[in-house]
Structure formats: C-alpha cells, structure tokens
Chain A
Amino acid sequence: MNTTSLKIFQGIGRYGVLLALLALIVFGWLRYENFLGAFNVLSVLRYNSMFALVALGMCFVIITGGIDLSVGSTAALGSVVAALLSPYGVLPGLLGGLAAGLAVGACNAFIITRLSILPFIATLATMLAASGCALLLAENQSVSVSYESGFTELGQGDLLGFPIPAWIVLLAYLAGSLILNLTSFGRTVLAIGGNEDAARLMGLPANRVKALVYLASGGLAGLAGVILAAQFGAGQPIEGVGWELFAIAAVVVGGTLLTGGVGSVGSTLAGVLLLGLIFNILNFENGLGWISLSAYWQSVIRGAFLLLVVAIQARLSMRTEEAA
C-alpha cells in the first residue's frame, strides 16, 4: 500500500467520528423539522452532559491502558450525597457529590497502584462497594433534593442561554484537552499507555500519574452524579447501571484505542454525542410516523453502531500493520 492511501486511512481513523457526527447532524437537519432548533439542541446537550463527564474520565483511564468500571455506581453515590447535602445550599451539594466521587477514585487508585490488582477487577469491586454505600446512605430509596436552596439550577438552569451542565462539560473537556496535550502530566499519561515499563524506566512517575487519573475519573463521575441529582430532582442510588459500558463505548467510538497510548479528548465528546443522537433521531423518526420503533431499538442500534466502528477500526489497524 502506498503512503497516500495509508494517510487517508489514518485520517479516516482519526476524524471518522467527527465525520459521522456531522453526517448524522446533516441527516437530521434535512429530515426533521426543529432538529437543529434551540430546544432540541439544548436538551440533547443537557441530558448527555452526565455521560460526557463520565466518558472524559474514562478516556484518560483508557489512555493509560486501564479501565474504570466503577463510574456508574460512583455517579449514583455522588447523586445521593449531593441530594442529602442539597438543603445546605448549592455549594455543599456540589462539593459533597464531588468528594464522594473522589473518595471512590482514591480507593481505585490505592487498589490499583499499591496492591497491584488489575484495574478491571479493582474497579469491579469498588463498583459494588459504591453501589452498596449509595443504597445504605439513601436507605434503598431515591432521595429528593431541596428545591429551596437552588441546587436544581445545577442541572436545570441556564447561563447565557446555555445549560449549566453543558458549561461544566465544556470547561471539563477544555481542561482535559489542554492537560492531555500540553502538560507533562498528559504526556506521561500517553507514555504509560504506550508502554508502562518503558515509562517507568524513563523515570516517569507512573504510579502517581495513574493514581491521579483514577482520582480524576472518580471525581468526574461524582460530578456527573451531582448533575443527575440536580436534573431529576432526586439522588438515585440505583441509577448509573451500565454507564461505565456506555462510556467505554463512547471512548472507543471516539477512536481511542483500548490498548492505551493513543487517544483524543475531543473525539470522545464526539463519541458521546454520536451515541446520544441515535436516541434523539429515533424519537424524531417515530414522530414522523413512517415507522414505529420502540425505545428498545436504541440499544440494538447502538450495539450495531459500536460493531461497525470497531470493525472499521480493526480493518484500519490491520492495513496500517501491513503497510508498516
């Protein structure tokens, strides 16, 4: 294979998710009325903000070659803590949810870096523990938030005509992108994922960086929990089931390799929006009345989509290997 077509293939691999997202948006814009109307755009952004935060943390974790299965129940725990603290004001609720997430992240960091247990099994355990803690704190039911303190603004409010959760996502992704690409921390994250032993031998603080990555993932999941509680008016101990796998799917669709060492924060956001838009488009399609697909189809379509993306990625990486 010549270098030009190799470059084209790599280009598809890198920007494929953006092209697909663009294609989906154009499709929706041409086909449905009000698809790009302010109401629809803002509600899609508002609803998917929780998944976007969780996926950002997952993106960093996956770049180091790890995985974080605990994010879903961490978000549930964060939502319960935030709801319990919401009567004391916006800030206690926000910080409480964040702290709960950081605590789970710290447990992950400790188990993975100090006890040298595989991330998969370590975060599987903390997933159960966080879920148990959430149920204990909430006494097995959802905890309604205080509406007097203005806590719900965090999920339902707008700032300059843009949903507050979307602002949080925007800031988080901006920071994430800068950290990954412009700081030595970010370079270390990439180096660990590329080859952890080599990174260690070069004197990079692999354990400290890994610990911080899991801490960040926990914190972001806690923040997602705060938004969950604020958006739906209740802390929900049994929410978040399957979020971790949705986040992994979004990261993978975004082109981040699960083997670590490669990844992009922006593409992850595109991956989240892509998976989120599938649901949105399904709703619009049903609204047109030509077909009637139940909500259950969305997971089938998401799965098929994930299959398509990983199959293309697999093909691309095989071609790249052959060419190299």
Chain B
Amino acid sequence: MAETATTLPPAQRAPRLDMKTLLTRHGAWIALALLILVNLAITPNFATWQTLNVNLTQVCTIVIVGVGMTLVIATGGIDLSVGALMAIAGALAPLIFLGKLFPLPHPAVGIALAFTVPVLVTAALGWFNGWLVTRLRIQPIIATLVLFIAGRGIAQVFTNGNLQVFNLPSFQFIGLGRIAGIPFQAVLMVAIVAAAAWMLRRTVFGRQILAIGGNERAARLAGIPVTSVKQRVYLISGLLSGIAGLIVIARNSAADANLVGLGMELDAIAAVAVGGTLLTGGRATVLGTLVGALIIQLVRYTLLANGVPDAAALVAKAVIIVLAVWLQRQSHR
C-alpha cells in the first residue's frame, strides 16, 4: 500500500501486478471505491452533500479514536479504555461549564476550561495506561481493561448517572459547527489523520513506534527509549479519546455517562484492522484506519438506505472484518 509505513524499506522484488497482489495490497481502497460506485448506482440521492455529511459525522469519532488506536496497535499494544475515557471527558465538560465543580468568574473561562481540562484528564489517564504497561509490565489488554471497567464507573459517579442537558452553541461548535459548509468535526478529523500520518512516516517518534512494534527487544537494544515512546502513545490515545468524547456530547446537546463511547473500543479496533494495520504491531497506516472506518460505515449506510435492518448490518460488519484481515494475511504469506 502506498501510504503504508513499515519498519523496513520495500524489498527489492520484481513488480508483480497480477490480480491477487492488487487485491490484497490495495484491497481497502478498492473496496471503498466499489462501495461508492455501487451506491451511486443503487442508492437514491447518494451523490448529495447531505449524504456526505451524514456519513462523515458518523465516522468522525471512530476515526479520531481509531488514530490513537492505530498508534497503540503499531507498538504491539491495544487500548480497551477509549470508550470509558470518552465517557469521562463527556461527563467532566458539562460539570465544568455548568459551574457545578467550581464557580466560574466568566462563562468564557468555563468554556475554555471545558475544552482543556477533560482532554488533559483523559490524556493523564492514557499516560497511566502506558505506565501500567511499561513500568509494571502488565499486558496492554489487561492494563487498559482496568480503566475500561473503572472509567465508566468514575464518569457515572461524577454525574450520579444523570443525564446532563445543555444548550451552549460556543461549546457545541466542536460537534455542530460548520466551516464553509463542512462539519467542523470532519475538518478536525482530517487534520488529526493528516498530522498522525505525517508523524508516523516522517518523524523519529513515528519510526520509533513502528520499530517497537516490529521487535521490541531489538528496538530496546538499538537504544530506542521504549518506555517513554509507549507512554506517549497511550497518552495520545487517551487525549484523542477525550476529544472524541467532547464531540459526542456537543453533538447530542447532552452528556450521558452510561452511553457516551459505549462499544467505541471495538469500533475503533475494527476500523484499524480493516484498514490494514497489522494487529501484532510493526506495520501501521493511519490513512488505512480512515478508509477502514469509511468502509464499515458505508456498508452500514448502504444496507440501511436499501431497507435492510440494522441488525443484519452487524453481521455484514463481522464478515467485512474477517474478510479484510484474511485478505491481508494472504499478502504477507
């Protein structure tokens, strides 16, 4: 895949352009193109601004969380806590701008704090995940399971499980605002994807992430600061989860600690897997995660728009995940 970042330079092999190579290397892009073509043919009103916006807003939070997940998975880890962290950010922000935590000198201060404090808190919790993984050497799946279980509980305790309703356009811009007709959250998503893709391919930090995922022992012996790189990666994942949590509550004009980010860890992992990132680490593509999320969303949209019940779309999603990962395996044999 063209944008795929690997630890090794591409092997000097004779270029083979047979069908199989094409299908397995660029499968995700081909699938996305096919889906769009099929929809143009069968789904009424597909080629409209509204359809684009609907689908973009559906994938935004998944992609933003998925970018962090891609980086974590690239180091050979996993982050199950993302959904719970979204709930924490989503619970904290209204508490702050509604002045329930502490009195606010000025509403603008509340809004500024509502954007920064929740994200900093989830970033800190993400760093805590990284600390568990690196310092206590707990496996990532268990280390992040702790916050998966406790995190949502913390958010529910903060809000006593109550729904927090609000109407605050200046805060909700992050979820409802538009720039030149494009939803602000989509602009944010594209910016985050571009920044992360650049970072993974062009910066030392990005190469270190991939090196650790490729072979952690070798990376350590080569002098890469494995501990700090991993901690930063989990921190980024926590930070992006916080942003996604803010977007969700802004979109809903309400924060429900029981529901914000529920099941997000699985959606994000699915997008990463379909996008072509190796789940064992060492090979990652941020753009692929975007494409993976778009494929999953478009399949669901196609089925829904053509009268198939949502439950059947779940089954289709399962088939896509298995098929995508299986196809990728074929290309790495």
> Which A residues have a C-beta under 8 Å from some C-beta of B?
67, 69, 111, 115-118, 120-122, 124-129, 131-136, 140, 241, 245-246, 248-249, 252, 258-259, 294, 296-304, 306-307, 310-311, 314-315, 317-318
Contact = CB atoms under 8 A, between A and B. Distances in A.
B124 interface: no
Contacts of A241: 262-263
Contacts of A297: 153, 157
Nearest to B158: A296
- Secondary structure of the A side of the interface? helix
A29 B83 CA distance: 37
A111 B318 CA distance: 12
A129 B150 contact: no
Given A117-B326, A118-B279, A298 B153 contact: yes
A310 B147 CA distance: 13
A69 B145 CA distance: 13
B107 interface: no
Nearest to A120: B279
30 contacts: A120-B78, A121-B269, A121-B321, A124-B269, A125-B317, A128-B266, A129-B315, A131-B314, A132-B313, A132-B314, A140-B311, A245-B80, A246-B149, A248-B141, A252-B145, A258-B139, A258-B141, A294-B157, A296-B157, A298-B153, A299-B153, A300-B154, A302-B150, A302-B153, A303-B146, A304-B150, A306-B149, A310-B132, A310-B136, A318-B137
Contacts of A118: 279-280, 325
Contacts of B132: 307, 310-311
A128 B315 CA distance: 6
Nearest to B280: A118
Nearest to A73: B314
A306 B156 contact: no
Contacts of B141: 67, 120, 248, 258
A134 B312 CA distance: 10
B76 to A, nearest CB: 12
B152 interface: yes
A125 B322 contact: yes
Interface string B135-166: 01111011101111111111011001100000
Contacts of A311: 132, 136, 138
Contacts of A298: 153
A126 B318 CA distance: 6
